Amino acid sequence: MRLAVVTFPGSNCDYDVYQAIKSVGGVPEFIWHRDAALDSVDAVVLPGGFSYGDYLRAGAIARMSPIMEQVVTFAAGGGPVLGICNGFQILCEAGLLPGALTRNDTLKFESKDVWVRVENADTTFSRDYGQGQALRMPIAHAEGNYYADEETLDSLESGGQVVFRYCDPSGHDGEGWNPNGSARSIAGIRNEAGNVLGMMPHPERAVEEVLGSVDGLGVFTSLLRQLSPAAA
């Protein structure tokens, strides 16, 4: 299974994502943002970082890269697309996911481990988790405050599109566990069709014991299992 990892100028999690994919048996492949083709890949990952220095708005300029036209077409055809951190911001800017990621309400760059609860374990990216399972993963962002109007939030909730939500270590909602002010503590959402996921936490930084958590593995194993059900 070939998974494209798109590198933009300023991406800095591309190697971590590459390694995470490899560690679960996938075949990662770097794609430079100026490449205009996504040749026979099975999934696309937009990694985290600071594409174009976050100029204008985080993700706004990366969205204009030649490769993004291909990513939009790939997603429209049902191809799985995973955006992590800056990748999530790019997916919102590109209109592949609703809403926007705005400045953290803390006004700080938040770099720490957080807990997220699996709100929907029946998705391409979360099927290897249990419903309601609490996961520990790092965040590292200044613009992770998810915003959408109430109507959009309601439709995300009712459509099972909220995949990950910030929670306390026991998996419950709790005061002080939303690290950035996100609406309804949303940490990750998928699109209506279910093939595009954006999340602020970094699952690729939680894939080995030595990193302090292996809770991020499930995102990658879920995706691989979706792509090759026979091998799972």
Partner 1 sequence: MTRHHLEIRIIPRPGLLDPEGKAIHHALDSLGYESVRNVRVGKAIYVDLEAPSSEEAIAEAEAMCRGLLANPVTEDFEIGMASPAAEPGETS
Positions annotated as catalytic residues are 85, 202, 204
65 sits near partner 1 (criterion: CB under 8 A):
no
Q: Is the separation of the CB atoms in 18 and 11 below 8 Å?
A: no
Closest CA to 93 of 83, 107, 103: 83
Closest contact distance (angstroms) between CB of 60 and partner 1 is 7
Q: Is the separation of the CB atoms in 81 and 118 below 8 Å?
A: no
Closest contact distance (angstroms) between CB of 181 and partner 1 is 7
Closest contact distance (angstroms) between CB of 130 and partner 1 is 33
215 sits near partner 1 (criterion: CB under 8 A):
no
Cα dihedral: 150, 153, 158, 159 (round 10): 140
- Applying the rule CB under 8 A, the residues between 75 and 114 that interact with partner 1 are 92-93, 98-100, 102-107
69 sits near partner 1 (criterion: CB under 8 A):
no
Q: Is the separation of the CB atoms in 82 and 220 below 8 Å?
A: no
- Applying the rule CB under 8 A, the residues between 123 and 162 that interact with partner 1 are 145, 147-149
Closest CA to 164 of 134, 193, 144, 139: 134
- Owner of token pair 């995470």: 20
Q: Is the separation of the CB atoms in 183 and 177 below 8 Å?
A: no
Of 73 and 106, the one with the shorter C-beta distance to partner 1 is: 106
Sign of CA dihedral 109, 107, 83, 29: negative
Give φ, ψ of 183 to 5 degrees. Answer: -55, 130
Sequence-ordered list of residues with C-beta below 8 angstroms from that of 92, at least 6 positions apart, any chain: 59, 98, 99, 100, 101, 198
Of 34 and 108, the one with the shorter C-beta distance to partner 1 is: 108
60 sits near partner 1 (criterion: CB under 8 A):
yes
Closest contact distance (angstroms) between CB of 150 and partner 1 is 11
Of 64 and 232, the one with the shorter C-beta distance to partner 1 is: 64
| Options 10, 171, 174, 181; binder of partner 1; rule CB under 8 A | 181
Of 58 and 114, the one with the shorter C-beta distance to partner 1 is: 58
Residues at the site binding partner 1, with contacts judged by CB under 8 A:
56-57, 60, 64, 92-93, 98-100, 102-107, 145, 147-149, 181
